[in-house]
Amino acid sequence: MDDLKAKYLGQIADAADEAALEAIRLAAIGKKGEVALKMRELGKMTPEERKVAGPAMNAVKDEITSALAARKAALHDAALDERLRSEWLDVTLPARVRGQGTIHPVSQVTEEVTAIFAEMGFSVAQGPRIDTDWYNFDALNIPAHHPARAEMDTFYMHRDAKDDRPPNVLRTHTSPVQIRSMEKTGAPTRIICPGGVYRADYDQTHTPMFHQVEGLAIDRDISMANLKWVLEEFFAAFFEVDGIKIRFRASHFPFTEPSAEVDIQCSWVDGQLRIGEGDDWMEVLGSGMVHPSVLRAGGIDPDAWQGFAFGMGIDRIAMLKYGIPDLRAFFDSDLRWLRHYGFASLDVPTLRGGLSR
């Protein structure tokens, strides 16, 4: 056994790679290896001979196994050292440039609008995008025959023919949030309601899903004069134009009385729109004093409280500010389009410190 051990320990020490080591293992301690064949001879020995030969054979097998493991580790270390000598990395080189994420214009403008109104004391209220027919229409003084309630304009949720409960709709405006907020907090209140809304329409200036922000302020003696000041302050901050002019045009909305559409001063120069200068006007939102019926629906006494409300499209004012010609581009364009209009991930407004521009 000593000669056998010396033979294989020498071969192991001279092995140049792991393939050679595996061949030695099979020849020595494999099922048909020399050590295994020697151990089979134990059955032919007397008990006294097995007591001497058995431990000696096991010791040789264990020693060969340990030598194989040690040589394998040594070969692995040698290969690693050689690789470290032949391969190198210059850690002083600058890192690879990684692409930056880009905030979507709708998200950016929503944050801008929220930050501006927050400085005027408005908090943000939110509500469900799927709402009842009552919150979306009835509570807002919209009569049953109004065109907005037709299925050609509004997305109604499917229901069983035998279901006699009031229907649910994809909200057509964020006005239901105003009702829910009045029910929850009462008066006085000052909120904006930004969010996604849905209407069955699709062209260059309309999409089936778009974004609105509506405002509501209720107090004892609030008036249209307060509404005009709030809107002037907002547009001056949003478009970054001091002294921007707006005008009210009489209109009709079921949920306000009196009602007014609001136009903003603008001009067209070489086919480009310029906000806050010139003699032209562009309609940007609807507004008015909250209808008494709407106040009652929200649980507020119209004899003691009054308020104003307004609503505008976030996507639309984003188009005006950043010169984006087609509303549909908000939903089917890639990052190259966003970068073309100057939306960078670092150009982000903050609710605490105003706009970081």
Reported in sequence order, the residue ranges of the chain that DSSP labels E, i.e. its strands, are 123-124, 130-132, 168-170, 189-198, 209-219, 246-253, 256-269, 272-275, 280-290, 306-313
Quote the tokens at residue 181: 């907020």
Closest CA to 64 of 111, 92, 24, 104: 24
Residue 41 among known ligand-binding residues: no
143: left (phi over 0), alpha (psi -120 to 50) or beta: beta
Question: How many angstroms separate the CA atoms of 146 and 178, rounded?
Answer: 20
Give the N- to C-terminal CA distance of the chain in Å, as an integer: 85
Q: What are the residues whose beta carbons fall under 8 Å from the beta carbon of 213, sequence distance 6 or more?
A: 110, 113, 174, 192, 193, 194, 195, 311, 312, 314
Residue 267 near residue 303, CB atoms below 8 Å: no
- The number of residues in the chain equals 357
Three-state secondary structure string covering 259-313: EEEEEEEEEEECCEEEECCCCEEEEEEEEEEECHHHHHHCCCCCCCCEEEEEEEE
Q: Which residue has the tokens 């829910």?
A: 180
Question: How many angstroms separate the CA atoms of 215 and 185, rounded?
Answer: 15
Per-residue CA distances from 218 to 39, 135, 189, 320 (Å): 98, 19, 5, 29
- Residues at the annotated binding site for Mg(2+)? 257
Which residue positions form the known binding site? 257
